[in-house]
Amino acid sequence: MRRPRPLDAVVAIALNTFREAVRDRVLYLLVAFAVLVILSSRLLAMVTVGNEEKIVKDLGLSAISIFGVGIAVFVGVSLVFKEIERRTVYTLLAQPVQRWQFVLAKFAGLLAVLAVHVVLMYVTLAFALWMRGATASGLAPAVWLILVELAIVTAFALLFSTLTNPILAAVWTSAVYVSGHLSWSLRLLAERVPPGAGRWACEAGYWILPNLDRLDRKAEVVHGLDLPAGFIAWSTLYGACYVALVLALACLAFERREFR
């Protein structure tokens, strides 16, 4: 009989996921951010002397990152859970769609939501800066790296949400996020621990955990410093490969899952 082309099915589910997230509450977050950035812009002009532009840029970039992580974690973990709890997943999996396609599609949908969020916020920030005669074009590399970081966090959110309930999944994802930002300390610890199992464990931990801190280049772009050549490209490759590995785990977990 007929079967959907794999890409077709993935796109359909991804679009559906996107629609679900957007018709949810996410838009309100965007509005909140836009208001925050523009307000801070005006307020700072009244209060400080000197480089308000830097503060707006710092605040803007951090808000994009924080709101993005919030969406990735809270929407991401509920994605799969809601489907299972409300049993919409039953009819979905009864279709000629394979389970890994389902996982990939969920990821694609959520990533699309995050991309839209990041772009919209970036535009808002650019507008706020334009209103005081500054430009946001130099911030683009940091914003792109924020998106890479969000992709990694989302992949983890999806992985944990196929494994457990949303609260635990949110906790685990947040733990990975925090560890990812502190992985440099594992490096330092490895130097101080005497050689042996302990040192090996620290090194292993450092390489296995996603190095999110390295993707944070907010300080550099705000001060207009150059990034090393190829940094963006290699970071993107790192992010893409890491996401692929985590999603593979998520697909595996979902493949084995039974629906009582």
Q: What is the contact surface with other proteins in residues (CB under 8 A)?
A: 1-4, 8-9, 12-13, 16, 19-20, 23-24, 86-88, 90-98, 188, 192, 207, 211, 214, 220, 228, 230-231, 234-235, 237-238, 240-242, 244-245, 248, 258-260
CB of 256 to other proteins, least distance (A): 8
| Tokens read off for 256 | 């084995």
CB of 197 to other proteins, least distance (A): 21
Tokens 């679009």 sit at which residue? 15
CB of 36 to other proteins, least distance (A): 22
**How many alpha carbons lie under 13 Å from residue 147 in its C-beta half-sphere?**
22
CB of 251 to other proteins, least distance (A): 9
Tokens 């493949």 sit at which residue? 255
User: Smaller CB distance to other proteins: residue 192 or 194?
Assistant: 192
Q: List the one residue out of 128, 137, 129, 132 whose CA is nearest residue 35.
A: 128
User: Smaller CB distance to other proteins: residue 11 or 171?
Assistant: 11
Inter-residue contact 180 to 212 (CB < 8 Å): yes
Residue type, 146: I
User: Smaller CB distance to other proteins: residue 90 or 130?
Assistant: 90
DSSP 81-127: HHHHHTTHHHHHHTSS--HHHHHHHHHHHHHHHHHHHHHHHHHHHHH
Dist CA 181 CA 178 (whole Å): 5
User: Smaller CB distance to other proteins: residue 134 or 216?
Assistant: 216
User: Smaller CB distance to other proteins: residue 21 or 128?
Assistant: 21
Inter-residue contact 92 to 124 (CB < 8 Å): no
User: Smaller CB distance to other proteins: residue 25 or 132?
Assistant: 25
Dist CA 135 CA 113 (whole Å): 25
CB of 171 to other proteins, least distance (A): 17
CB of 53 to other proteins, least distance (A): 21
